[in-house]
């Protein structure tokens, strides 16, 4: 009897696992909203791994620039991947580009997609308006995901009627090179959606990590307070920015010091993240405003992209 019971339990367990797997969405068709650096990178890696991609932005000029950027990036990848096979490199680039189409009308293309990945400007109202509009046109099975690095996924999901099919999918820059993807599960995200996004991330050749919908997720939640503490250390006159950078490179083995990294990321971007967190939790000491950072941003000194931040660049 015990043997029969064990066999029955195993059978039921196998059936349940198979049923759960069968329910997952196999993502084949992807719509990426936003043709900037992140959106173009996501479109590139999706197309390069056998997915059909539609890249959407507001104008044809933006999309043409995105497409050129993708082609340049693909040629760099192909040069390394097919070092001994130039013909194979050309075929790889051509095949990947053929899997990417573009559109300026998001509503007209989401009806046949499995996954919508949003990668537009970090503005809650703009993102909510976009998701609310697309929710009316997308198929019932379609998963919505945001690439936001700082906004609450739950707030975005609440602009739609598909909270169970909504999650965060946070890629890192540059997308073709960075292996990590943070998959953010809200209290409303279904297990089916969550597992489908884990599978999709792996299909891209990425390493997904799971996180709940907490400010900054994993990487930024640890990184930004570290960067801000470096600035505060300098503000208090306890060490110079040069010595702090050198200490973290030689002492912790980091490739860049905190001030170098801040300039690389963009001081305006960091301030935006910190301000958003402070608005959500003003009493958290890790989220307090930083006078030095605020001053530089007010002076339009954003880091490398503007020619000056904590350091000057030629």
For residue 128, indicate whether it is catalytic: no
| Six token digits for residue 291 | 């006078």
Residue 220 annotated among the catalytic residues of the structure: yes
Say if residue 34 carries a ligand binding annotation. Answer: yes
Which member of 51, 147, 220, 260 is catalytic? 220
Which of 181, 168, 145 lies closest to 45 in space, CA to CA? 181
Q: What per-residue string of b and e applies to 207-236 under the rule 16 or more CB within 10 Å gives b?
A: ebbebebebbbbebeebbbebbebbebbee
**Given 66, 147, 149, 159, which residue is catalytic?**
149
36 labeled binding residue: yes
Asked if residue 216 belongs to a known ligand binding site, the reply is no
Q: Does 237 show up as a binding residue in the annotation?
A: no
> Does the annotation place 173 within a ligand binding site?
yes
38 is in an annotated binding site: yes
Catalytic residue among 66, 147, 170, 196: 170
Establish whether 127 is an annotated binding residue: yes
Nearest to 143 by CA among 206, 70, 199, 203: 199
Q: How far is it, in rounded angstroms, from Cα 309 to Cα 40?
A: 26
Give 4-7's long-range contacts (Cβ < 8 A, gap of 24+): none
Q: What is the bridge-based pairing of β-strands 166-171 and 180-185?
A: antiparallel
Contact 194, 186 (CB under 8 A): no
Distance of CA 69 to CAs 36, 63, 128, 183, 254, Å? 9, 10, 28, 26, 29
- For residue 266 the two structure tokens come to 């963009």
User: Residue 85 annotated as binding?
Assistant: no
- Is 294 annotated to bind a ligand? Reply is no
Catalytic hit among 182, 196, 201, 260? 182
Q: Is 229 annotated as a binding residue?
A: no
**Known active-site residue 149:** yes
Binding site annotation covers 251?
no
| Residue 283 known to bind ligand | no
Q: What letter would DSSP give residue 308?
A: B
Query: C-alpha angle 72/123/218, rounded to 5°?
Result: 75
Q: How far is CA 15 from CA 9, 24, 88, 204, in A?
A: 10, 15, 43, 28
* Closest alpha carbon to 191 in 230, 152, 223, 143: 143
Contact predicate 102/55, CB 8 Å: yes
Binding residue ranges for CoA? 73, 80, 149
Binding residue ranges for NAD(+)? 34-39, 57, 122, 127, 149, 173, 305
Binding residue ranges? 34-39, 57, 73, 80, 122, 127, 149, 173, 305
Which active-site residues does the annotation give? 149, 170, 182, 220
């Amino acid at each position: 009897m015990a043997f029969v019971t064990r066999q029955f339990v195993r059978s039921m367990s196998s059936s349940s696992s198979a049923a759960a797997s069968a329910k997952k969405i196999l993502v084949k068709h992807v719509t990426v909203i936003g043709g900037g650096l992140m959106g173009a990178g996501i479109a590139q890696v999706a197309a390069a791994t056998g997915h059909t991609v539609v890249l959407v932005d507001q104008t044809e000029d933006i999309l043409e620039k995105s497409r050129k950027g993708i082609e340049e990036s693909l040629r760099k990848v192909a040069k390394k991947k097919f070092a001994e096979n130039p013909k194979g490199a050309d075929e790889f680039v051509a095949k990947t580009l053929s899997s990417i189409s573009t559109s300026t009308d998001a509503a007209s293309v989401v009806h046949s997609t499995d996954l919508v990945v949003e990668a537009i400007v970090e503005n809650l109202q703009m993102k909510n308006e976009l998701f609310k509009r697309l929710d009316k046109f997308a198929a019932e099975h379609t998963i919505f995901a945001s690439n936001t690095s700082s906004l609450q996924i739950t707030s975005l999901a609440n602009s739609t009627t598909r909270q169970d099919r909504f999650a965060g999918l946070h890629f890192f820059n540059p997308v073709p090179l960075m292996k990590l993807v943070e998959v953010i599960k809200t209290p409303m995200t279904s297990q089916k959606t969550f597992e489908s996004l884990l599978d999709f991330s792996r299909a891209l050749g990425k390493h997904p990590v799971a996180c709940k919908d907490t400010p900054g997720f994993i990487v930024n939640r640890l990184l930004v307070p570290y960067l801000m503490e470096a600035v505060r250390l300098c503000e208090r006159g306890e060490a110079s920015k040069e010595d702090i950078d050198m200490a973290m490179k030689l002492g912790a083995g980091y490739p860049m010091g905190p001030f170098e990294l801040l300039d690389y990321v963009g001081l305006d971007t960091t301030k935006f993240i910190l301000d958003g967190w402070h608005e959500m939790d003003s009493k958290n000491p890790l989220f307090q405003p930083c006078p030095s950072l605020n001053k530089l941003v007010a002076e339009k000194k954003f880091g490398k992209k503007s020619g000056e931040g904590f350091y000057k660049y030629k």
